Structure 1
Amino acid sequence: MRILHSSDWHLGQHFIGKSRAAEHAAFLRWLVAQINELKVDALLVAGDIFDTATPPSYARELYNQFIVDLQPTGCHLVILGGNHDSPAVLAESKQLLAKLHTSVVPAIPAEPAEQLLILKNSAGQPGCLLGAVPFLRSRDLLQSQAGQSGQQKQQDLQQAIARHYQQLFQLAQQYNQQHRLQLPVVMTGHLTTVGVSQSESVRDIYIGTLEAFSASAFPPADYIALGHIHQAQQLNSSNDIRYSGSPIPLSFDEARQQKLLWLIEFNEQQKTVSPVNIPCFQPLASIKTDIAGLTSAVAQVLTTLPKDSLAPDARLWLELVISSVDGYLSDLQPRVEQLLSELPVELLRLRRERSSSDNSLPQLEQTSLAELAPADVWQARLSNESLDELQQRQLTILHHQVLAQVQDASNNIAKPDGSSL
């Protein structure tokens, strides 16, 4: 039985005004080829298929086309909902996709047994039991109780998540006992666990109620495939618990990470897990330098990029952090643009390095709008209002819908040659 663990595709993401559509399309083509080459029986995508609750049409097209392209491989695709995903959007095609060898678990079903999937090997025999756990929303697990402290809410949510996993694991054990089998048990999840390394693009999903779930609270499954954290890593735990991370860097601090998938192989009573490195489809770099050393610093980064990561017409997406001495120059932007004009780079973000004296300034005064994603601005605006969790969630959904419509429209603006941007 061969299983590929992936997560956090974030189809439809915009990165400082740049669409990731080309990168995602390249990744999905590469992924189909890898599934063919490695003879993968099942692909798990542990949440955040889309970047927003209302993904633009081109993101849905990528998703649907991937499922079509995957059909000749015979691979069983399992889609789990994440905190960025709308359960309704994922559920709308669930029944149709079931006919295309695809299982979609957008949220907790009414019956826990519906989350227990039997994955078959290349011979068509049961090869693994999957506890398909999506992002667990507190409202799906708990009833709100008046007068509870924040600490009590956090404890209740921790316990509810742990109970859900234990219940599903027990169902898997019962299945093995009833059928006199010893199938390995794999479980999924979309949450933050204690001790993981995070990046700028990861946002809190249990604001004020759950900072991180304890790895010791997971049941003793043979493998636990997690999503939400964008850096691939294995937890220091008695269980085999891993994050696959995002397939492309979603922020500049992820630029140096080797993006990967985990390949899990069960052979009789043996299990092996190995990384499958994902190629770079669009290089990013963040460079700290002064004006004098800018050209050489950028040139040095260009020489370290994989030879196949820069096509003849491709350009490095660049963030420049200029030293505080040069950061106050009135003509900083034109100077930088002039120095970069002959290099295969595109400057997406220019900011000055903050000195220790900047700590006395309010945070909004330290940060330029160009440094913020739309979600950052939205969260900063929400923080100034006295709203409960439900109101914040409802307003955030509306904000996602409007933002998606704007981004979708910008991707369909016609160019002079008649094609779309």
Structure 2
Amino acid sequence: MRILHTSDWHLGQYFMGKTRQAEHQALITWLAEQVEKHQIDAVLLAGDVFDSGTPPSYARSLYYDLIMAMKSVGTTLVVLGGNHDSVATLMESKRLLRAFHTHVIPGVLDEPADQVLVLSDRHGQPGAVLCAIPYIRPRDVLQSQAGQSAEDKLRSLQQAIQQHYQQLFLQAQQRCDQLGGGLPIIATGHLTTVGASASESVREIYVGALEAFPTQAFPAADYIALGHIHRPQWVGGLTHVRYSGSPIALSFDEATQDKLMWLVELDSTGLQQVSPLAVPCFQPLMSITGSLDTLPALLQSAALQGTADHPVWLEVVVRVDDYLSDLTTRVQAMADGLAVDILRVRRERGQAKSVLLPNACEMLDELTPLDVFERRLAQESLDDALHAQLRLRYRQVISQLQGADA
């Protein structure tokens, strides 16, 4: 049984004024070629199919292009909802897409057995049993209780998520037995685990302890295909628990990453091999850092990676001591005539002031929402305990708003 593990496609992302439509279209074409070349039996897309809960029409078209491409090369596609995805949006065509060999699990389902899928190989024979687990929203598995502290709520949520995994794993074992045994069990997930290394484009989806779900809390599946973290990796020293990462760079700090998908081979004895399948770069993306004196040479070097038709999308980080109101204009002038498209110019973060003032020299796009909140807290005289409490409460509110949007 050959499984291809991918995640975090973020169809419909609008990146600093640029659409990713052409990249995603090229990615779908490339994926179909790889599935046919390697005779993949099933493709797992472990969450964040779309970049938002209300994807534009072209993103929906790309989604259906992906489904039709996978059907044309004879493979099963399993789509799991992520924290960026709307359950309602993915649910719309769920039943229809079964006719195209596509299983869609938008969120936690009312009947747990519906999340246990038997994956067949290319000969139509059962090849693996899948615990198809999407992003788990707190309301899916937990009822709030009066009088609970924030720590109690976090602990209860972690236990509820662990119980959901164990419940599905037991049902998967029973399904294996019904089929005569000898089938490997795969699980999926869309969450952050202990030791996972994230990037700036990853939105925090849990608060407190659940930003680091312990790997030992997963059931004893033969392979666990995770999404949400955009950097490909395995975690907790367990080579069978892996993030595939995003197939295209979704932020400038991902520009230097080697993007890949995992080719997973299993048989009746369990996991046999996991191999990286390198994803080509469909749009050059780069971040350069230098002083005003060194930037001209750096820009010329960066331009070598692009062409007139496909210029490099560039972030320029400038080392400068003084605030210059025309900094962007200066940098754009240096790049005139080069095969680069400068999407962002900012000063080096370490030079930014630590508080917000009316004449602050930081640009808003240099800061995350949490940075802004921290700057505001820095203006208050607070003890450490109250500061920590306010920070935790902020993150809880953000998490609730994200859950409501999805």
When the two structures are superposed, what TM-score results if normalisation uses the length of structure 2? 0.88
Cα deviation for residue 346 of structure 1 reads 0.7
Preserved contact between residue 190 and residue 226 of structure 2 (Cα < 8 Å): yes
Which residue of structure 1 lines up, in the alignment, with residue 187 of structure 2? Answer: 187
Q: Partner letter of residue 51 of structure 2? A: D
2:168 is the alignment partner of 1:172: no
SS in 2 for 1:249: coil
Matches of 1:328 and 1:388, distance apart in 2: 32
1:337 to 306, 310, 332: 332
Please say which of residues 174-183 and 43-52 is displaced more in the overlay: 174-183
Change (3 A) 1:84 1:300: same
Cα deviation for residue 285 of structure 1 reads 1.0
- CA deviations over 1:236-273 (Å, ceiling 9, x no partner): 33461000011111111000001100000124536111
Matches of 2:188 and 2:323, distance apart in 1: 49
Superposed CA RMSD in Å reads 2.9
Q: Partner letter of residue 52 of structure 2? A: T
Matches of 1:374 and 1:88, distance apart in 2: 27
Which residue of structure 1 lines up, in the alignment, with residue 323 of structure 2? Answer: 328
1:40-189 → structure 2 map (5 Å cutoff): 40-189=40-189
Change (3 A) 1:355 1:239: closer
Change (3 A) 1:110 1:379: farther
Preserved contact between residue 8 and residue 230 of structure 2 (Cα < 8 Å): yes
Matches of 1:13 and 1:364, distance apart in 2: 33
Which residue of structure 2 lines up, in the alignment, with residue 406 of structure 1? Answer: none
Cα deviation for residue 319 of structure 1 reads 0.8
Which residue of structure 2 lines up, in the alignment, with residue 352 of structure 1? Answer: 347
SS in 2 for 1:192: coil
Matches of 2:127 and 2:228, distance apart in 1: 27
Matches of 1:161 and 1:185, distance apart in 2: 18
Unaligned runs of 5+ in 2: 377-389
Which residue of structure 2 lines up, in the alignment, with residue 227 of structure 1? Answer: 227
Please say which of residues 214-223 and 350-359 is displaced more in the overlay: 350-359
Which residue of structure 2 lines up, in the alignment, with residue 215 of structure 1? Answer: 215
Q: Partner letter of residue 117 of structure 1? A: L
SS in 2 for 1:287: strand
SS in 1 for 2:212: coil
Cα deviation for residue 380 of structure 1 reads 11
- Give the count of matched residue pairs: 391
Q: Partner letter of residue 302 of structure 2? A: V
Q: Partner letter of residue 298 of structure 1? A: L
Matches of 2:248 and 2:12, distance apart in 1: 12
SS in 1 for 2:345: strand
Cα deviation for residue 64 of structure 1 reads 0.9
SS in 2 for 1:211: helix
Matches of 1:85 and 1:380, distance apart in 2: 30
Preserved contact between residue 207 and residue 395 of structure 2 (Cα < 8 Å): no
Could you tell me the percent identity over the aligned residues? 51
- CA deviations over 1:319-352 (Å, ceiling 9, x no partner): 1111123x53343233211210021001111111
Unaligned runs of 5+ in 1: 401-421
Matches of 2:165 and 2:359, distance apart in 1: 41
Which residue of structure 2 lines up, in the alignment, with residue 285 of structure 1? Answer: 286
Q: Partner letter of residue 295 of structure 2? A: L
Preserved contact between residue 188 and residue 224 of structure 2 (Cα < 8 Å): yes
Q: Partner letter of residue 314 of structure 1? A: H
SS in 2 for 1:83: coil
Which residue of structure 2 lines up, in the alignment, with residue 415 of structure 1? Answer: none
